C-alpha cells in the first residue's frame, strides 16, 4: 500500500529495542558493557572475514527481527559492534581496493597483507577479498583483481553458482525451473535476480569450501605456532542467492513484509541519485510476490553465510587460540532490496553505504559504539591489534581507542564515494553529486531517507555546515571527483 510521503519517520527499531537487548546479552554472558579487560593479551593472529553485498540492517545483531544470524550475534556479544560503519566505495572493486590499502581512492604502496608479511606474519587469502566477478570468477576459479603481493598463499573457492542443481528462479522475469539450461549467469543482464534452492547440503558451495580451507589453515598455523593474518572472503549473499533448501524453508516468502513504499518517493531525489536498477527498470515491479521471494533468498543466503562464520569461530575456540586471535567481520558495502524501489548497490543512500563491523579482540571490551567509522580504518586497526607498524601513507584511523571506550571518536563524519560524495554525520546525511545536485536528510526524524530537505529553510545552516565539511574532506584527501559548485 502506498502512503502519503511523510515529513518524518519513527526512530529505528534497532536503536530503541535491540541495543538494550544486546547489552543485556553481554551481561548475561559475563561481559558487562563498559567492562575493561584486566590484562592485555598478546594478539598473535588476525582473522578478517568479509561478506559480500551484506547490508548491516539485515543482521540480528543490528536489529533485524526476521533474519537468523546466531553466530554473528554471538560474535557481536563478545566484541564491539560499530553501529555507524561506512564503506568508501559503493560497489565491490573500489571498496575492496580502498580498505585493503586504507586509501579513499588510489592504491597505496604497501597493501594490508603485505604489511603483515613484511613484519613476520603468514598472510593468506581464502575466497574473495579484492574484487572478483561473482559469478564469473567463482565459476572459473580465477583470481579476479587479486594482488599477488598481498599473500603468502591464496586459495580460490570455485562453485557452480546459478548452475547448481536445484529450484532456479529468475524473479524479475518470473521464471521458475529445475532445468539447468538457459539460466542467467556471468555477464547476463538478469543475473542479480536469481535464486537457487539447492538440492544438496551446501558443502559444494564456495562459502562452505572457504570455511573448510580457513579451518585447515588455522589448524596448520596454530600447530606450528606461526602468527598469521587470514582473510576469508565469503561471497554470499551476493547474487545469485544460492543456499540449501533448509535455509529457504526458514523464510516462507508469503510471510515476508517488503519495505515501506511511499507516494512520490523519488520526486525529490536528483536524477543522479536514482539507482541504476529500480523496480520499474528491472521488471520486478510487475511481480510483488517475487519481491518477497528476493528477500527470502537474501535471508537464506545470509543465514547460510552466518553458518560458515560459525564454523570458523568454533574452530578457533576448539583450538584454544581465541585469547590470542582477533576476529573482525564486515562487508564491502550494503544493498538495496526494494527500498525506494531501488535494487542492488552503487548509490549513495544509507542502505548501501552503511556496513556491519564487529571487532572481537582479546583484552578489549565488548559493547556497542555509535562513533562514525570507515572501512579505510581496518588497515591501521588490524596493524595496531597485531602490534605492527602502519605505513605512513594510509588514510584511515586506528579504532583501538574505541575498543577501549565506545564513546571515543576518531572522526566526526563518514565519507562514501560514487558519482559524487555522501557525508554521514551524527544526525544527518549530505549527498552531493558530480553535477552539483544535492540531498540532505535528518537521520533522527527520517532514518529511512524519505524526505530530501536540502532546500528547506529550517535546515539552511545545517546544510551549509555539511557542504563545508565535505569540501574540507575532499581537499584533505585530495579526492579527484570534486563536483562543480551548485549555483545559488
Tens-digit pLDDT profile for residues 140-165: 999 999 999 999 999 999 999 999 99
Whether 198 and 110 share a structural domain: yes
484 falls within a domain: yes
Q: Which residues, other chains included, contact 73 with Cβ-Cβ below 8 Å and sequence gap of 6+?
A: 25, 59, 60, 61
Whether 327 and 385 share a structural domain: yes
Q: What is the pLDDT of residue 401?
A: 98
Whether 206 and 304 share a structural domain: yes
Q: Give me the number of domains the chain comprises.
A: 2
Given 392, 408, 439, which residue is the final one in a domain?
392
Given 392, 410, 441, which residue is the final one in a domain?
392
3-state secondary structure of 122: strand
Strand runs (DSSP E) across 306-383, as ranges? 325-331, 336-337, 343-344, 354-355, 357-360, 367-369, 373-374
Q: Which cell numbers hold the place of 471?
A: 569540501
Cα distances (Å, whole numbers) of residue 91 to 52, 336, 353, 418, 482 = 10, 12, 10, 9, 19
Residues in the chain: 488
Q: Is 264 exposed, middle or buried (0-12, 13-18, 19+ CB in 10 A)?
A: exposed
Q: What is the pLDDT of residue 39?
A: 59
156 falls within a domain: yes
Residue-wise pLDDT for 430-463, tens only, equals 999 999 999 999 999 999 999 999 999 999 999 9
Q: What is the pLDDT of residue 40?
A: 73
Q: Which residues pair with 155 in a beta bridge?
A: 126
Contact 348, 421 (CB under 8 A): yes
Whether 442 and 370 share a structural domain: no
Q: What is the pLDDT of residue 378?
A: 98
Q: Is 171 exposed, middle or buried (0-12, 13-18, 19+ CB in 10 A)?
A: buried
Q: What is the pLDDT of residue 41?
A: 83
Q: Which cell numbers hold the place of 371?
A: 562513533
Rounded CA gap, 132 and 448, in Å? Answer: 31
Phi, psi torsion values for 146, nearest 5 degrees: -60, 145
Rounded CA gap, 143 and 20, in Å? Answer: 43
Residues of the chain with pLDDT > 90, as a percent, come to 89
- CA 412 vs. chain centroid, Å, equals 21
Contact 56, 85 (CB under 8 A): yes
Residue-wise pLDDT for 169-222, tens only, equals 999 999 999 999 999 999 999 999 999 999 999 999 999 999 999 999 999 999
> Which residue range(s) make up the domain with 456?
419-488
190 falls within a domain: yes
Rounded CA gap, 72 and 49, in Å? Answer: 11
Compute the average pLDDT of residues 134-142.
Answer: 98
Confidence band of 481 (pLDDT split at 50, 70, 90): low
Whether 86 and 232 share a structural domain: yes
Given 373, 392, 411, which residue is the final one in a domain?
392
Q: What is the chain's mean pLDDT, rounded?
A: 92
Q: Which residues, other chains included, contact 325 with Cβ-Cβ below 8 Å and sequence gap of 6+?
A: 43, 44, 45, 46, 47, 316, 362
Whether 306 and 433 share a structural domain: no
Whether 184 and 328 share a structural domain: yes
Residue found by looking up cell 539485515 in the block: 58
Whether 78 and 116 share a structural domain: yes
Nearest to 136, CA basis, from 124, 148, 144, 125 = 144
Confidence band of 6 (pLDDT split at 50, 70, 90): very low
Mode of pairing for the β-strands spanning 373-374 and 85-86? parallel
329 DSSP 8-state letter? E
Give the CATH number, domain containing residue 129: 3.40.720.10
Q: Residue 19: is its pLDDT beyond 90?
A: no
Confidence band of 369 (pLDDT split at 50, 70, 90): very high
Compute the average pLDDT of residues 367-391.
Answer: 98
Whether 364 and 469 share a structural domain: no
Whether 253 and 345 share a structural domain: yes
412 falls within a domain: no
3-state secondary structure of 328: strand
130 falls within a domain: yes
Nearest to 182, CA basis, from 143, 173, 309 = 173
Whether 319 and 431 share a structural domain: no
The sheet with strand 414-417 has its strands ordered as 414-417, 420-424, 428-433, 438-442
Residue 352 CB neighbour total at 10 angstroms: 27
Q: Residue 269: is its pLDDT beyond 80?
A: yes
410 falls within a domain: no
Residue 36 CB neighbour total at 10 angstroms: 11
Crossing angle, helix 288-318 and helix 70-78, to 10 degrees? 50
Q: Residue 242: is its pLDDT beyond 80?
A: yes
474 falls within a domain: yes
3-state secondary structure of 183: coil
Confidence band of 356 (pLDDT split at 50, 70, 90): very high
Q: What is the pLDDT of residue 106?
A: 80
pTM of the model: 0.91
Higher-scoring residue by pLDDT: 12, 449 = 449
350 falls within a domain: yes
- CA 454 vs. chain centroid, Å, equals 27
Q: Which cell numbers hold the place of 385?
A: 591489534
Give the CATH number, domain containing residue 453: 3.30.1120.10
Residue 15, CB-side half-sphere exposure with 13 Å CA sphere:
10
Q: Residue 488: is its pLDDT beyond 70?
A: no
Residue 311 CB neighbour total at 10 angstroms: 16
Whether 349 and 487 share a structural domain: no
Amino acid at each position: 500500500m502506498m502512503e502519503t510521503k511523510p515529513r518524518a519517520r519513527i526512530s529505528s527499531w534497532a536503536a530503541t529495542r535491540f541495543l538494550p537487548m544486546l547489552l543485556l546479552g553481554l551481561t548475561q554472558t559475563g561481559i558487562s558493557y563498559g567492562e575493561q579487560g584486566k590484562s592485555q593479551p598478546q594478539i598473535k593472529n588476525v582473522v578478517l572475514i568479509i561478506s559480500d553485498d551484506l547490508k548491516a540492517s539485515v543482521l540480528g545483531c543490528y536489529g533485524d527481527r526476521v533474519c537468523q544470524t546466531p553466530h554473528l550475534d554471538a560474535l557481536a556479544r563478545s566484541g564491539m559492534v560499530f553501529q555507524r560503519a561506512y564503506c568508501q566505495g559503493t560497489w565491490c572493486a573500489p571498496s575492496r581496493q580502498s580498505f585493503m590499502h586504507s586509501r579513499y581512492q588510489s592504491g597505496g604502496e604497501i597493501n594490508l597483507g603485505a604489511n603483515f608479511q613484511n613484519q613476520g606474519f603468514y598472510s593468506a587469502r581464502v575466497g574473495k577479498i579484492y574484487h572478483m566477478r561473482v559469478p564469473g570468477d567463482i565459476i572459473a576459479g580465477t583470481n579476479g583483481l587479486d594482488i599477488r603481493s598481498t599473500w603468502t598463499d591464496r586459495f580460490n573457492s570455485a562453485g557452480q553458482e546459478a548452475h547448481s542443481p536445484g529450484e532456479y528462479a529468475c524473479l524479475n522475469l518470473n521464471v521458475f525451473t529445475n532445468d539447468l539450461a538457459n539460466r542467467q549467469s556471468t555477464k547476463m543482464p538478469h543475473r542479480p535476480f536469481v535464486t537457487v534452492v539447492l538440492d544438496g547440503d551446501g558443502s559444494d558451495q564456495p562459502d562452505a569450501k572457504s570455511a573448510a580451507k580457513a579451518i585447515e589453515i588455522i589448524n596448520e598455523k596454530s600447530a606450528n605456532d606461526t602468527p598469521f593474518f587470514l582473510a576469508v572472503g565469503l561471497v554470499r549473499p551476493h547474487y545469485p542467492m544460492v543456499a540449501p533448501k533448509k535455509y529457504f524453508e526458514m523464510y516462507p516468502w508469503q510471510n515476508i513484509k517488503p519495505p515501506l513504499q511511499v507516494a512520490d518517493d523519488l520526486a525529490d531525489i536528483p536524477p543522479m541519485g536514482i539507482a541504476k536498477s529500480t523496480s520499474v527498470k528491472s521488471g520486478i515491479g510487475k511481480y510483488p510476490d517475487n519481491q518477497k521471494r528476493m528477500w527470502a533468498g537474501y535471508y537464506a543466503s545470509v543465514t547460510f553465510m552466518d553458518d560458515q562464520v560459525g564454523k570458523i569461530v568454533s574452530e578457533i575456540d576448539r583450538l584454544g587460540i581465541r585469547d590470542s586471535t582477533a576476529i573482525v567481520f564486515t562487508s564491502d558495502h550494503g544493498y538495496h532490496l526494494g527500498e525506494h524501489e531501488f535494487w542492488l548497490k552503487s548509490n549513495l543512500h544509507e542502505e548501501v553505504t552503511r556496513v556491519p563491523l564487529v571487532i572481537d579482540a582479546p583484552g578489549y571490551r565488548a559493547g556497542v559504539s555509535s562513533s562514525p567509522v570507515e572501512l579505510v580504518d581496518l588497515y591501521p586497526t588490524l596493524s595496531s591489534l597485531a602490534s605492527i607498524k602502519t605505513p605512513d601513507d594510509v588514510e584511515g584511523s586506528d579504532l583501538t581507542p574505541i575498543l577501549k571506550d565506545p564513546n571515543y571518536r576518531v572522526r566526526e563524519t563518514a565519507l562514501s564515494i560514487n558519482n559524487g560524495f555522501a557525508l554521514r554525520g551524527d544526525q544527518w546525511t549530505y549527498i552531493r553529486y558530480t553535477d552539483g545536485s544535492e540531498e540532505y536528510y535528518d537521520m533522527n526524524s527520517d532514518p529511512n531517507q524519505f524526505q530530501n530537505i536540502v532546500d528547506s529553510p529550517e535546515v539552511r545552516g545545517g546544510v551549509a555546515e555539511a557542504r563545508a565539511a565535505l569540501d574540507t574532506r575532499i581537499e584533505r584527501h585530495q579526492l579527484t571527483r570534486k563536483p562543480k559548485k551548485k549555483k545559488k
